[in-house]
C-alpha cells in the first residue's frame, strides 16, 4: 500500500466516520480530522495488507494532541471493517467535553487490543499524593495541638 492508496482510503473512510471532516496527507499516511467531535484518526501503511491506525483528540485552537490509542489492523480493501477498527480507537480517546475516557470502550475487530500511549498511572498517583500530604498535615497538627 503506497501513500496515494492510503490517502484514497482515508477519504473513503472519512465519509463513513463523520459527515463533517477534513482529510490531508501526512508523512506517508492520511489524517482525518473531525473538528465537530474534537478527534482525529491517522492511517499509515504497515507492510503488505496492514495499516497502522492512531487516534487522538483535538485541543483548543485546533492543534492535535498526541495519539491516545493505536493498533495495527489487516486491510484487504474492506472500508467497513477498517471503520470498525477506527471507531473502537475513537472510543479509547479522551472525551473532550468531560475530560474522561468512556466507561466501556469497544474492542477492535479480530480480537485485537489497541495499544495505549501516555502515562495512565499519573491519574491514580495524584490522589495518592494528596492523601499522603493530608495525612502528614494532620499528623503535624496533632503534634502542635497535643
143 found inside a domain: no
88 found inside a domain: yes
145 CB-near residues (< 8 Å, 6+ apart): none
Per-residue pLDDT at 49: 85
Listed in order, strand segments (DSSP E) in the chain are 22-26, 29-34, 39-45, 50-57, 69-74, 115-116
Q: Once rounded to an integer, what is the mean pLDDT over residues 50-63?
A: 87
Residue 33: domain span: 3-118
pLDDT, averaged across the chain: 74
Q: Which residue has the higher pLDDT, 95 or 10?
A: 10
146 found inside a domain: no
Percent above pLDDT 90 for the chain? 15
Q: Is the pTM of this model over 0.85?
A: no
For residue 34, what are the β-bridge partners? 39
Q: Once rounded to an integer, what is the mean pLDDT over residues 22-39?
A: 85
pLDDT in tens, 113-140: 444 444 444 444 455 555 666 666 666 6
32 found inside a domain: yes
C-alpha cell read off for 45? 501503511
100 found inside a domain: yes
Per-residue pLDDT at 124: 44
Q: Which of 35, 38, 29, 39 is nearest to 8 (CA)?
A: 29
42 found inside a domain: yes
* Total domains present in the chain: 1
Q: Once rounded to an integer, what is the mean pLDDT over residues 98-119?
A: 44
141 found inside a domain: no
123 found inside a domain: no
Amino acid at each position: 500500500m503506497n501513500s496515494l492508496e492510503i490517502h484514497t482510503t482515508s477519504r473513503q473512510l472519512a465519509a463513513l466516520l463523520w459527515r463533517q471532516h477534513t482529510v490531508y496527507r501526512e508523512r506517508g499516511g492520511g489524517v482525518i480530522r473531525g473538528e465537530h467531535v474534537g478527534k482525529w484518526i491517522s492511517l499509515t501503511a504497515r507492510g503488505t495488507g496492514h495499516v497502522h491506525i492512531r487516534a487522538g483528540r483535538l485541543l483548543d485552537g485546533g492543534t492535535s494532541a498526541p495519539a491516545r490509542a493505536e493498533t495495527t489492523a489487516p486491510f484487504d480493501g474492506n472500508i467497513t471493517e477498517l471503520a470498525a477498527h477506527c471507531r473502537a480507537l475513537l472510543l479509547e480517546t479522551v472525551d473532550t467535553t468531560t475530560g474522561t475516557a468512556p466507561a466501556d470502550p469497544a474492542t477492535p475487530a479480530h480480537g485485537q487490543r489497541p495499544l495505549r500511549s501516555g502515562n495512565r498511572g499519573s491519574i491514580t498517583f495524584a490522589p495518592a499524593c494528596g492523601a499522603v500530604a493530608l495525612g502528614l498535615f494532620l499528623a503535624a497538627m496533632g503534634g502542635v495541638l497535643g
